[in-house]
Structure 1
Amino acid sequence: MTVQTEERHASWLELFFDLVAVAGVAQLSHLLRGSTTWGDAGLYVVCFLAFWTAWMCFTVYGNVTGAAARTMPVLLAMAGLVFMSVSVHDLGKHAQVFAVAYLAVRSLASRVWEGRTSTRIVVEWPVVHAGVGVVPWFVSLWADAPGKYGLWALGLALDLLISLTVSGERLARKAASRVSRREPGARTAFAHLDLTHFGERLGLFTIIVLGEGVLTVTEAMAETPDWPAPLFWTVIAILALLAALWGAALYQGFAGIPYLRQTTWGPRSLLPVHCLTAGLLAALAAGLGDVVESLEHGEMAPGTRWLICGCVAAFTIIGAVSRATSQRWSRWDYLATAAGVAIPLAIGFFGAPLDPVRFLWLLVLAVALSLTRGPRRK
């Protein structure tokens, strides 16, 4: 007799926690609305990675603990992420709040694993136990911009370096050693992620990011006084582009990464690529809102054109790498990948004369060519 175990899905607490992702992605994408400077782009990268890292710390907590997750730490983390989100609206004035909230969430995330008699160490996400990445953030409290932002980037780079290069088991043993020195006699246990449930959680974040694209376009259309026919065709093209991205990232992908099989990558590769993909889609959402607004004055800014084209080209490259490593590559994929990169680059360089409708449908074609392979296989 075969015993079937019930597949685990996101809990109500986890879904409630994800509401901060809705707010955070909305505020972060607005950093790029109407902006064409490299400085704003760099600031967006730093802030998005910080928000994603803080969100991930408690997503990992919910994944490992399941129904045993304590509600109060999660709600406190939500408050910290809300303050981070609000601070982005005017980071020049509220950078200090952003940094303090980030430090508070990271501190809470490291303490939440400690019980009265034992401490759990997450092997696949050792960053939550490593304090070196938060040191530059603490120092930044006494620094002014742009040095403050540079220290934030340094702290995030250290976290990324640790997660990519240092063995999770090694860091887990070191963390266990620190616990035993601090609390002699305390027991430590190594915890592992539920990858299927984790993939669902990352996919939900991607859905939130794609939803920001829909919301941005809806708001831009609502703020447009007149609704000529090109506006309707532009919005339809945007929805088609978002649908194509959804198909690649979720219908044919795993954890929000296009064309990836569930069993191909472990968390060490999965997490940074998910962050990159989600960041690209959130930036794309900002650019799509600017496309709708450009109809009013009849010209799309070159920075907006390059932002969208760059995001689509990078998304295509991520999809090609994940498809190849998932052993799903075929001869057609050479053509589809070449077109998915060449079309955005071509209209990035030469697409100034294109109206938004033609511009967007060419991007839909660039993404859709790789979708012709059928539904994903695990």
Structure 2
Amino acid sequence: MSPSWRTCSTGTGEFAYYTVLFCAFWMTWTCFTLYGNVAGDRTRTHVLLAGMFGLAVMAAAVKGVRDGRHIQAFAAVYVLMRILGSRVWQVRGQVLLDWPTAQFTLGVIPWTVSVWVDRAARFWLWTAGIALDLWATFGINGRRFLERTQQRAVGRRSRPVKLSAVYSDPAHLGERLGLFVLIVLGEGVAQLVATSADTEWDWQLCGLALGAFLLLVMMWSLSPPVARGLVRVRDAAAAAREIMIHLPMDSLGVATLQDRWRSVTRHLLAGVGCDLGQIVFPYLDRCTDLERRKILETVSTYLDTGSLGDTGRVLRGHRNTVLNRLNAFEKYTGLDVQRPYDAAAVTIALEWQGTRP
């Protein structure tokens, strides 16, 4: 065990190495899997064979990583695989928007440096490299990455270079991730069982086994059907941020995009200077305050129920009264809320003025 880990428990050190090596395998495998996923029939067989060979060498080197026999070989092969995984996208002139890490090689730098440092610092450099890759996975915007990559490509070449944006195929990728998880989980659980069977059970072993199992569960959570959402993590975070911007301070429970889509849409439209309230409220100034209030109440209720009869029951009025008020709204604004297109616009307009919850 490396000197930097002599003060730590063996279980802690083993689990730390297990985590880092597992992430290295996962990053490498994902790079080549996504290449095959996007390239489809145009996949270069020799590229995938090179990736398979590199993973095989890394797997063979694992046993000697902790005692230092194959630690440099593991790092060197990992660096080569990541560079090759990035190079295939450059050759294709494409940028993978939903996983920019496939072309993001900054995390490879600490691994490259680790080949020439002593064993005490090597693990921490590997950890830093993995941390950079995870940051790239969840923190880099694909569109911005494409713009920066395009600018660098133009600066390096005399002729203009046009890069194209591509996305992975979720259905096919989900299938491949499922196979990967089945293999890794099966092998991982087998190793945990074998180790536990041959070792005296104590609290240290229990902690190590639990940590390793939780890591496997975390990787399983990235598999289908959740794997299809992995590439949308940043989109989900952006949606959550938009939901919270106009969420009432006294609101309770869980707020979902399905519940708050009106306020999110209103905020995004405001960002481009669009006020849909202007297509409704100025035109209602021609009616009395009482008529205006009753019309808006009826329109809002109808948009919630989608039914003339249900609207009448909610407002305790006749169906014909509801229809007359909707017709009056159309007369003043030119918008028929019984048409989906107009109904969507009016829904956001009422949200803008705080008429709707």
Q: TM-score range by the shorter chain?
A: 0.5 to 0.7
Structure 1 Cα separation of the partners of residues 209 and 111 of structure 2: 31
Q: 2:75 aligns with which of 83, 99, 117?
A: 99
Mapping of 1:172-191 within 5 angstroms?
A: 172-183=146-157, 184-191=159-166
Structure 2 Cα separation of the partners of residues 301 and 86 of structure 1: 29
2:59 corresponding residue in structure 1: 85
Deviation at residue 53 of structure 1 after TM alignment: 0.5
2:193 corresponding residue in structure 1: 288
1:275 corresponding residue in structure 2: none
Structure 1 Cα separation of the partners of residues 114 and 151 of structure 2: 29
1:301–1:103 CA distance, 2 compared to 1 (3 A)? same
| Alignment root-mean-square deviation, CA | 2.8
Which sits farther off after the overlay, 66-75 or 307-316?
307-316
2:178 corresponding residue in structure 1: 203
Q: Unaligned 5+ residue runs, structure 1? A: 1-34, 213-281, 327-378
Which sits farther off after the overlay, 313-322 or 148-157?
313-322
Q: Is the 8 A contact 1:129 1:175 kept in 2?
A: no
Q: Is the 8 A contact 2:98 2:168 kept in 1?
A: yes
- The one-character-per-residue Cα deviations of 1:255-307 (angstroms, maximum 9, x if unpaired) are xxxxxxxxxxxxxxxxxxxxxxxxxxx3x44321123335xxxx524333233
Q: Is the 8 A contact 1:287 1:304 kept in 2?
A: no
The reply to whether residue 49 of structure 1 matches residue 23 of structure 2 is yes
Q: 1:143 aligns with which of 105, 108, 117?
A: 117
Residue type matched to 1:210 in 2? L
Deviation at residue 176 of structure 1 after TM alignment: 2.2
Structure 2 Cα separation of the partners of residues 289 and 110 of structure 1: 37
1:168 corresponding residue in structure 2: 142
2:206 corresponding residue in structure 1: 305
1:139–1:291 CA distance, 2 compared to 1 (3 A)? closer
> What is the DSSP-based 3-state SS (H/G/I as helix, E as strand, rest coil) of the residue aligned with 1:124?
coil
Q: Is the 8 A contact 1:84 1:102 kept in 2?
A: yes
Q: Is the 8 A contact 1:126 1:163 kept in 2?
A: yes
- The one-character-per-residue Cα deviations of 1:26-67 (angstroms, maximum 9, x if unpaired) are xxxxxxxxx952111111111111111011100110111111
- The one-character-per-residue Cα deviations of 1:226-251 (angstroms, maximum 9, x if unpaired) are xxxxxxxxxxxxxxxxxxxxxxxxxx
Deviation at residue 144 of structure 1 after TM alignment: 1.1
Deviation at residue 146 of structure 1 after TM alignment: 2.2
1:342 corresponding residue in structure 2: none
The reply to whether residue 69 of structure 1 matches residue 28 of structure 2 is no
Structure 1 Cα separation of the partners of residues 130 and 178 of structure 2: 23
Determine which structure has more spread, i.e. the larger CA radius of gyration: 2
Structure 2 Cα separation of the partners of residues 316 and 141 of structure 1: 31
Mapping of 1:246-325 within 5 angstroms?
A: 282=188, 284-294=189-199, 299-310=200-211
Aligned residues: 214
1:144–1:83 CA distance, 2 compared to 1 (3 A)? same
1:40–1:47 CA distance, 2 compared to 1 (3 A)? same
Q: 1:39 aligns with which of 6, 9, 13?
A: 13
2:133 corresponding residue in structure 1: 159
1:83–1:319 CA distance, 2 compared to 1 (3 A)? closer
Residue type matched to 2:100 in 1? P
> What is the DSSP-based 3-state SS (H/G/I as helix, E as strand, rest coil) of the residue aligned with 2:69?
helix
Q: Unaligned 5+ residue runs, structure 2? A: 1-8, 230-357
Structure 1 Cα separation of the partners of residues 180 and 87 of structure 2: 24
> What is the DSSP-based 3-state SS (H/G/I as helix, E as strand, rest coil) of the residue aligned with 2:34?
helix
TM-score normalised according to structure 1 size:
0.52
Of all paired residues, the percent bearing the same amino acid is 36
Q: Is the 8 A contact 1:287 1:307 kept in 2?
A: no
1:241 corresponding residue in structure 2: none
2:105 corresponding residue in structure 1: 131
TM-score normalised according to structure 2 size:
0.55
Residue type matched to 1:187 in 2? K
1:105–1:285 CA distance, 2 compared to 1 (3 A)? same
Deviation at residue 311 of structure 1 after TM alignment: 5.2
1:347 corresponding residue in structure 2: none
> What is the DSSP-based 3-state SS (H/G/I as helix, E as strand, rest coil) of the residue aligned with 1:131?
coil
